[in-house]
């Protein structure tokens, strides 16, 4: 049975851990608020731009621009978005497993895949499993998400697609639902897939100025960058939500453990006192 000193030391250790988890929960809650505001602000623009570009892609021939070109089922690029830090429950593991399944099960029927990873944790999980397919890893970038970062990633994705190194590009990330809910998402980024027109089938007509080619040349890459930016924001907001939930659970578990250890300490202390009393009484009886 542990000594009173050992139990008391363990109680102090758990209390120190609880202070850390509570502080991390508060930090994540503050970051989540900002990240959630950023996601909510970005969604309408990204959704509307996707609608417009899908409408354009529906009326254009696939060969009018390289980013609209549908090719064979040769090789695809999977862009996985994870976090640089842990302590956020199953956030990193679940999305990494989703990417691994996507590659191994070959859901879209492509012959081969490469993986581009954003976030250190995704690389740590996949390098021992599908390390030969990882082409590049971006670490320590999720702490400062901006459109410039999304544009740089867009260039790394668009160039090999235009050069026909890849026939398709897929994004794998956590879509933010709430602080306790994230949806594992796989979406096709390239080529841009036409979106079927709902309702009465009405399709808006567009006038291109200065020309169709120049407009598409400017707007299509920007669309890709916007969708990457949105996915990054979704992933970061999901990370903070998952970490806040995980730290809240850890704090509650620490409280339960402190209660159990305190009870164990009191019982051990009572047993020690009882033992001392019995020894005193036995000694007094032996003198008589």
Between CA 47 and CA 219, with CA 171 as vertex, the angle to 5 degrees is 45
Q: Output the pLDDT for position 97.
A: 94
**42 vs 210, more confident:** 42
Report which secondary-structure segment, H or E, holds 77.
strand 75-81
pLDDT at residue 206 greater than cutoff 80: no
* Beta carbons within 10 angstroms of residue 146's beta carbon: 10
Contact present, 232 and 150 (Cβ < 8 Å): yes
Pick the CATH number of 34-243 from 3.40.50.280, 3.40.1380.10, 1.10.10.10, 1.10.3720.10: 3.40.1380.10
**Domain residue limits, the chain:** 4-20+247-287, 34-243
> Could you report the per-residue pLDDT of 66-118, keeping only the tens digit for each?
888 888 888 999 999 999 998 998 999 999 999 999 988 876 788 899 999 99
Instruction: Please pick, among 24, 50, 88, 157, the residue that the annotation labels catalytic.
Output: 88
102 has catalytic annotation = no
pTM: 0.85
- Which of 92, 89, 14, 25 is closest to 253 using CA atoms? 14
CATH topology for 4-20+247-287 is Helix Hairpins (1.10.287)
The residues, ordered by sequence, that sit 6+ positions from 49 with a Cβ below 8 Å of its Cβ are 223, 226
DSSP-assigned beta bridge partners for residue 115: 78, 134
Positive or negative: CA dihedral 209, 213, 216, 222: negative
> Could you report the per-residue pLDDT of 259-274, keeping only the tens digit for each?
999 999 898 888 888 8
pLDDT at residue 59 greater than cutoff 70: no
Backbone angles phi, psi at 75, to 5 degrees: -130, 140
């Amino acid at each position: 049975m542990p000594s009173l000193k050992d139990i008391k030391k363990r109680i102090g250790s758990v209390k120190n851990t609880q202070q850390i988890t509570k502080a991390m929960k508060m930090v994540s809650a503050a970051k989540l608020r900002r990240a959630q505001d950023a996601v909510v602000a970005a969604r309408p623009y990204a959704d509307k731009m996707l609608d417009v570009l899908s409408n354009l892609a529906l009326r254009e021939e696939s060969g009018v621009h390289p980013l609209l070109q549908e090719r064979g089922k040769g090789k695809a690029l999977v862009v996985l978005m994870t976090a640089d830090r842990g302590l956020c429950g199953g956030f990193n593991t679940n999305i990494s497993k989703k990417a691994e399944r996507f590659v191994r099960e070959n859901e879209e029927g492509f012959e081969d895949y490469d993986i581009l990873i954003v976030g250190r944790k995704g690389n740590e999980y996949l390098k021992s499993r599908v390390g030969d397919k990882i082409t590049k890893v971006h670490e320590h970038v999720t702490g400062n998400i901006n459109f410039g970062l999304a544009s740089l990633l867009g260039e790394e994705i668009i160039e090999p697609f235009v050069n026909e190194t890849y026939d398709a590009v897929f994004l794998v990330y956590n879509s933010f639902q709430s602080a306790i809910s994230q949806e594992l998402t796989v979406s096709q980024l390239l080529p841009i897939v036409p979106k079927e027109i709902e309702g009465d089938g009405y399709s808006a007509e567009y006038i291109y100025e200065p020309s169709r080619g120049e407009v598409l040349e400017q707007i299509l890459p920007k669309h890709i960058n916007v969708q990457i930016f949105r996915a990054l924001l979704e992933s970061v907001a999901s990370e903070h939500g998952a970490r806040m939930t995980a730290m809240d659970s850890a704090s509650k578990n620490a409280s339960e453990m402190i209660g159990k250890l305190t009870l164990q300490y009191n019982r051990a202390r009572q047993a020690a006192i009882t033992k001392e009393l019995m020894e005193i009484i036995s000694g007094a009886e032996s003198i008589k």
